[in-house]
Chains A and B, each alone.
Chain A
Amino acid sequence: GAGVSQSPSNKVTEKGKDVELRCDPISGHTALYWYRQSLGQGLEFLIYFQGNSAPDKSGLPSDRFSAERTGGSVSTLTIQRTQQEDSAVYLCASSSDRGKTQYFGPGTRLLVL
């Protein structure tokens, strides 16, 4: 079956611009996670959605980062007023429930000039 998909695969933007990254989870998966993978760093957790519950935003690095999930499916991660340190690979993962195996998408490679 179809896996997690993300778009765009690559994004180049100028410092100070806003960007939106999209994630389509595996059909039927209720849990959705966003992670960030920077050069020389491991994957770090950003935000978690479970069904219609309020998201866990405990990993967001600043208030410039926000995310939403519409209809319990597609999610959008928004970064406002991008900075060069935001350059990274943004990965989305979904699972059938919050304790289950997480399956990752291919990522969006963001470069802020």
Chain B
Amino acid sequence: EDQVTQSPEALRLQEGESSSLNCSYTVSGLRGLFWYRQDPGKGPEFLFTLYSAGEEKEKERLKATLTKKESFLHITAPKPEDSATYLCAVQAGVASGSARQLTFGSGTQLTVLP
């Protein structure tokens, strides 16, 4: 069974204080690892897809990295508008015809204080 564990559950940072969020996973053949951002009362907003160990992607203050067992979302010099819940999800590379649905972690709730 595919599993995704995110840590910490909640993180409070001062504006400008860089940190990292962790996503550990076990999956039957990783097809892709996805990061989403979710604001209160809204649906998840796509951030990154990572496909293989060693891959990195960046967008503004965010950088996602991937190893064979975990992914990190690094936040550099965060601003209050980066406050949100960050969700990690994996997609298994099972036999053709499968749904390729996402298995999500419980998320990390990030609060950036001004």
Contacts and interface: CB of A to CB of B under 8 A. Distances in A.
Contacts of A107: 42-43
Contacts of B105: 42
Contact of B44 (A56, A58, A59, A104): A104
A23 B101 CA distance: 17
Contacts of B98: 56, 98
B107 interface: yes
A105 interface: yes
Interface string A94-113: 00001101111111010000
Contacts, number: 58
Contact of A104 (B4, B41, B45, B91): B45
A103 B101 contact: no
Interface in B56-114: 87, 89, 91, 98-107
Contacts of A44: 104
B25 interface: no
Contacts of B101: 33, 45, 48, 56, 59
B99 A98 contact: yes
Residue of B4, B44, B103 with highest tally of chain A CB at under 10 A: B44
A102 to B, nearest CB: 6
Given A101-B34, A104-B45, A105-B43, A58 B100 contact: no
B99 A45 contact: yes
A99 B102 contact: no
Most chain A beta-carbon contacts within 10 A, residue among B31, B34, B98, B99? B99
B99 A56 contact: yes
Contacts of B41: 109
A30 B46 CA distance: 18
A99 B100 contact: yes
A41 interface: yes
Contacts of A98: 98-100
A43 B34 contact: no
B106 A42 contact: yes
Contacts of A91: 43-44
B49 interface: yes
The 3 closest A-B pairs by CB, nearest first: A48-B99, A104-B43, A45-B101
